[in-house]
Amino acid sequence: MSKSKVLLPAAPPSTLEVMLESLRINKDQIKDLPPALPQRPTSRARLPSSLRGRKAVGSLLEVLSQDKLVTSLDTTNMTNRINVSRCGSEDPYVCESSVVAEQVNQDFQTDIMSLLDEGGDSTPMTSSDEMESAYEKDQEDFQDVLAFDGGKTTSDGIALPDQSDIKSIDSLPVKASFKKRKADLFALKRNSRVWFRASEDNWLLGVVQSKTDAGFGVCSSDGQIFEVGSTKILPANPEILEGVDDLIQLSYLNEPAVLHNLQYRYAQDTIYTKAGPVLIAINPFKKIPIYGPDYVQIYRNERKSILGPHVYMTADSAYKAMIEDEANQSIIISGESGAGKTETAKITMQYLAALGGGRGVENEILQTNPILEAFGNAKTLRNDNSSRFGKLIDIYFDTAGRICGAKIQTYLLEKSRVVQQAQGERSYHVFYQLCAGADPALRARLNLKAASEYRYLNQSECLVIDNINDAEEFQSMLRAMDVVQISKMDQDNAFSMLAAVLWLGNVTFSISDSENHVIVDDNEAIQSAAVLLHCNVKELMAALCTRKIRTRHEVIVQKLSHTQASDSRDALAKAIYASLFDWLVDGINKSLEARKRQTGRSISILDIYGFESFKKNTFEQLCINYANERLQQHFNRHLFKLEQEGYTAEGIDWTRVDFVDNQECLDLIEKRPMGLISLLDEECTFPRATEETLSLKLNKYLNGNSCFKFERGTTFRVRHYAGEVAYETVGIMEKNRDLLHADLLHLLGSSECSLVNSLAERVSNGFRKVNGMQTQKRSVATKFKGQLYKLMQKLEGTSPHFVRCIKPNRFQHANLYNNDLVLQQLRCCGVLEVVRISRSGYPTRYSHHQFAIRLPYFSHASVLWL
Ligand SMILES: Nc1ncnc2c1ncn2[C@@H]1O[C@H](COP(=O)(O)OP(=O)(O)OP(=O)(O)O)[C@@H](O)[C@H]1O
């Protein structure tokens, strides 16, 4: 057959072109095009998930999987909203032929029609005067319906935040939401599926049998008939939407529907669900076979729609966005203690290592985990492997997208745990690992005993963790140290420091005079500590039980009481451990940075301690919850403020979705000069200040603040975004000052061991001398505040990807899902509001310039209005 050109008649305009033309006419009438959307990061994380998983768009997905162009139209605002997104790996910006475009158009048209048929959020809203006037009253009714339960304390003594203090979107004064709900109820007919509240905190699924003035007759799934008032009923989603992989797809986005969807998936070990741009990860507390090389292949090869949401998908989006948009990315993992943040961070790192590996440094990065977990994690009542520090790891990539280095930044290690733990909790894993796993030579050199012989480890009566072999963990940690190139000498020195801390804990004192002054008991503990610290035992004894005060003319030696001496021993142990931790992180960073070649491209993974609320909360909880407030602010800013401001700036018809802004709580904590931290710092400068004077001061200056409540004695309450927490002022000033007496610092500085010297230098860097006395340059809280500011600045320079980890129960049990607990976590982080915004907002955005470059097809004369 001879090859000859066949001239085809001009193709009739496609349905899409017809539609675009009608839009163009409308636009021309408006004359002015809306200003370009602010340059916002565009990444695959923002692909229209509403299109991804829906059955109605099967043919569309087929086209997507062939790396073709796809155009979608949002139904809520059809006249002025065209969303164009792309999918595929090779060169997805180019539309191969008009045939393909036509195919896409047809599929796309089908999709629009199905969306319109389905109703979704575009259900017409009822707006009768009667309903408007009943608004105020019904707001109260709805608040009742949605307040699932009040504040509680769990059997393990953990105080749950009072639910009445956590606003849900449904209890917010959002008229549109209220009207929508009214319309939904109005639309309920016989045989409609509904959720009804059978008892205080129990929502059941049923079918409407009858509708009366008083409410509804509902038949539950077991055949019982209930009379249900209209305030206790909510529409349920059709069965076809059971277990959707993005909450955005739910027609009805009420709390029982969301909870049911998550529970339905969880029961099938499907732990990941999208909530618009946020990935929800429910901790399975068991191994699920959804990780590893095979799964990495699936997710990296764009076949992820087969398997649905996964943290691999989030990591993949971040990686591809980094390459394609040439923008740094961040993956921000948040959630309560025990929700699975650290595991999620590790899984993310593993995926990135698989994707960007090849140079070997990725293995080093992964091996930092066992080391940091050994030194920075501990068993708590909530989590057997709780991170007691915050961590940001920046993974650097070269121009070819391969990992070329990393940097770890840590935040506020919980020092107090070294010397004291609550009953049933442990100190840092590394102590138990060392005691269980050291070989005989090391054991002899450190004069090491069993963990049960050390007061710092045995006081909480918890030496082992179920199913964890500390000796084996120690061997893994040693291997990791080798991989990360921590020299044998440094390893040995580090173990000496650990043993020194343990022996310090066994140092005891005896009363030496009638004024209750003490001397150090000369025994194995003090001798071993002195040997391990390479310092003179007499000097160590003197530094622990006396204090030298230097005046202009003389040096006065003051003897210490038992409490003072014990405090100074504990302060020394804490200072050694904390600076050892920092030294270790610096060492790791040096090793990882050696391979770093500056490309400027990175993905940062943030795994920071989750919100904490216990029966007794003190300085550590205040700092941890403050960090979470900052992160929540970042979340709010990106997913609510910027999102909605963008629409407003564009002049787009937009019904504002309210969210709980936590700015007031942040102001309460960090504002100068009358914030909590400033007042605490000021009180810490008064030598005679006590817990009572601090409480009085806080009460005096903060009592007018709606986020603050003075309780009684030494307790105050702060209303956080995640609930109210009662803090004790007991011990808070010492922790904030975090002083180490100059004599002890001097002693460490005079050690013959270079590591001890360098630890002393680290500690003394945080101090300055005022009138011969060592005082902190900045208090711990102020230093932490500065670190958080820097962190936020850094995150602002990245495109964020949010992962919300959810704890399904408080017992670390597999297959146990507590609706209340999940709801509380979803509510406090504003997940439902995010879904609402995402559902009614743009899934993807380009500037007109980007649009024209990426989608040349639309630059065609027929769509020149673009
Ligand atoms: N994806 C997962 N698969 C299997 N088990 C998991 C997963 N995620 C978490 N877990 C289990 O839950 C435990 C707690 O998780 P993790 O330590 O990551 O919580 P966390 O949110 O980091 O807590 P903390 O704030 O106390 O550090 C893990 O030790 C592990 O047993």
- Region 671-693: mean pLDDT is 91
41 belongs to a structural domain = no
pLDDT digits (tens, 9 = 90+) for 652-678: 776 777 777 889 999 999 998 889 999
pLDDT of residue 719: 94
Percent of the chain with pLDDT over 70: 73
**Among 226-230, 243-247, 282-286, 295-299, which is the least confidently predicted range?**
226-230
Q: Are residues 95 and 170 in the same domain?
A: no
Show the domain range for 93: 15-36+54-122+847-863
pLDDT of residue 182: 72
CATH code at position 301 = 3.40.850.10
Output the pLDDT for position 644. 74
**Residue 230 is among the residues annotated as catalytic for this protein:** no
Number of domains in the chain: 5
**The domain that contains 756 carries what CATH number?**
1.20.120.720
Amino acid 134: pLDDT? 34
Ligand 1 atom closest to residue 271's alpha carbon, by position in its atom list: 1
457 and 567 part of one domain: yes
Query: For atom 9 of ligand 1, which residue has the closest CA?
Result: 340
Handedness of CA 844, 846, 850, 852 (dihedral sign): positive
Q: Which range, 23-37, 229-243, 426-440, 627-641, is most confident? A: 426-440
Q: What is the pLDDT of residues 538-586, one digit of tens each?
A: 999 999 999 988 777 788 888 999 999 999 999 999 999 999 999 999 9
- Asked if residues 602 and 403 have their Cβ atoms less than 8 Å apart, the reply is no
Q: What is the pLDDT of residue 441?
A: 96
* Higher local confidence (pLDDT), 254 or 458: 458
Q: pLDDT tens-digit profile of 446-491?
A: 999 999 999 999 999 999 999 999 999 999 999 999 999 999 999 9
* CATH number, domain containing residue 673: 1.20.58.530
Residue 790 lies in a domain: no
148 & 295 share domain: no
Please state, in angstroms and as integers, the Cα–Cα distance from residue 8 to each residue in 5, 69, 98, 349, 358, following that order. 9, 23, 12, 53, 50
Same domain for 271 and 297, yes or no, is: yes
Q: Measuring from each residue's beta carbon to the nearest atom of ligand 1, which residues come in under 6 Å?
A: 283-288, 335, 337-343, 383-387, 609-610, 805
Q: What is the pLDDT of residue 543?
A: 94
* pLDDT score at 222: 86
Structural domain contains residue 752: yes
Same domain, yes or no: 442 and 569: yes
Q: Is the pLDDT of residue 155 over 70?
A: no
Span 202-248, pLDDT tens digits: 789 999 998 877 788 999 888 888 888 888 889 999 888 999 999 98
The answer to whether residue 147 scores a pLDDT higher than 50 is no
Taking the centre of ligand 1 as the mean of its atom positions, its distance from the CA of residue 257, in whole angstroms, is 26
Residue 583: which H helix or E strand, with range? helix 562-593
Residue 724 lies in a domain: no
Residue 334 CA, ligand 1 centroid: distance in Å: 12
What are the tokens at 656?
């504002």
Mean pLDDT, rounded, of the chain = 77
53 tagged catalytic? no
Tokens describing residue 155: 């059997």
ipTM of model over 0.95: yes
Q: Are residues 237 and 253 in the same domain?
A: no
Domain membership of residue 546 (yes or no) is yes
The answer as to whether 339 is a domain residue is yes
Q: Mark whether 625 and 551 lie in a shared domain.
A: no
Residue in 161, 89, 290, 304 with CA at minimum distance from that of residue 621:
161
Return the higher-pLDDT residue of 550 and 756.
756
Q: Are residues 223 and 356 in the same domain?
A: no
Q: What tens digit of pLDDT does each residue of 373-414 get?
A: 999 999 999 999 999 999 999 999 988 899 999 999 999 999
Query: Which of the following is catalytic: 261, 387, 568, 705?
Result: 387
Q: How many CA atoms lie within 13 A of 481 on its CB side?
A: 21
Amino acid at 419: V
Positive or negative, the CA dihedral 321, 325, 326, 328 is negative
pLDDT of residue 568: 93
Residue 530 covered by a domain: yes
196 and 329 both lie in a single domain: no
Residue that is last in its domain, among 241, 259, 278: 241
Residues 272 and 289 both lie in one domain: yes
Probe target for ligand 1 pocket from 285, 607, 809, 829, with the most ligand atoms within 8 Å of CB: 285
Compute CA 832 distance to the chain's CA centroid, rounded to the nearest angstrom. Answer: 16
d(CA 406, CA 785): 24
Burial degree of 812 (CB within 10 A; 0-12, 13-18, 19+): middle
Whole-number pLDDT of residue 145:
29
Catalytic residue list contains 704:
no
Do 145 and 25 share a structural domain?
no
pLDDT band at 859 (very low <50, low <70, confident <90, very high): low
Ligand 1 center from residue 198 Cα (angstroms): 34
* Reported confidence tier of residue 112, pLDDT bands at 50, 70, 90: very low
Q: What is the pLDDT of residue 489?
A: 94
Q: Confirm whether 358 is a catalytic residue.
A: no
Active-site option among 42, 386, 496, 782: 386
> For the segment 258-269, what is each residue's pLDDT rounded down to a tens digit?
999 999 999 999
Is 703 within a domain?
A: yes
State the DSSP H helix or E strand holding residue 571, giving kind and residue range, or none if neither.
helix 562-593
Q: Is 141 exposed, middle or buried (0-12, 13-18, 19+ CB in 10 A)?
A: middle
